[in-house]
Amino acid sequence: MASFNLFGFTIARDQKPELRSQSIITPVNDDGASTISTTVGAYGGYYGTYVDIDASARSESEIISRYREISRYPDCDNAIEEIVSEAIAAVDDEAPVNVNLDSLQVSDKIKKQIRDEFNEIVNLLDFNDKAHDIFRRWYVDGRLYYQKMIDLKNPERGIKN
């Protein structure tokens, strides 16, 4: 235990801090908030728009930024909302997604195991409650990335996050 006194106050650390998560990815805000950075500079807070005629994107992150910027325009936002609402049915008693194994030629035991694992992934993603937001993010960005988190001490327990 390391401790020292400073101006009559004792500063001590009881134990080494434990890493809570093995994730290297910043968490996604599911509350609808987005981070937008602006620079005021010489324009005094005004901004302008430009047309990039050659549409040359230098990296994948620039492409995604451009898609997100376009999705903020009211006409595009309305079109995206209509597409997402048609793709994700909001029926109270039904799940928005399920797995159909009727034509799969395997035993019922394996089909049950596949259904159980599928339902576990749906629960981990909280897809029943966040299907609209997940589909919209995929539709705007053109891709979604997920990191699988397992318990390193007991990997047989499967995906935990």
Say which residue, 92 or 35, is predicted with more confidence. Answer: 92
Query: Helices (H) and strands (E) in the chain — how many of each?
Result: 4, 2
> Using only C-alpha atoms, what is the Rg of the chain?
24
Token pair of 27 as six digits = 């968490």
Q: Do residues 136 and 88 lie in contact, with contact meaning Cβ atoms separated by under 8 Å?
A: no
The two tokens of residue 91 are 């029926």
Q: Dihedral sign, CA of 157, 137, 83, 132?
A: positive
148, 22 contact by CB (below 8 A): no
Which has the higher per-residue pLDDT, 79 or 41? 79
Task: Calculate mean pLDDT across residues 73-96.
Answer: 86
**Exposed, middle or buried by CB within 10 Å (0-12, 13-18, 19+), for 136?**
buried
141 or 24: which carries more pLDDT confidence?
141
The rounded distance, in Å, linking the Cα atoms of 138 and 78 is 16
pTM surpassing 0.85? no
CA end-to-end span of the chain: 33
pLDDT tens profile 5-24: 777 777 776 655 555 556 66
Residues 6 or more apart whose CB falls under 8 angstroms from that of 129 comprise none
pLDDT digits (tens, 9 = 90+) for 89-133: 777 777 888 899 989 899 999 999 999 989 988 888 888 888 889
> What are the residue boundaries of the structural domains of the chain, listed by start?
58-161
For 106, the token pair is 């395997």
Q: Longest C-alpha distance within the chain, in Å?
A: 75
pLDDT band at 82, cuts 50/70/90?
A: very high
User: What's residue 111's pLDDT?
Assistant: 93
Q: Check if the beta carbon of residue 27 is closer than 8 Å to that of residue 33.
A: no
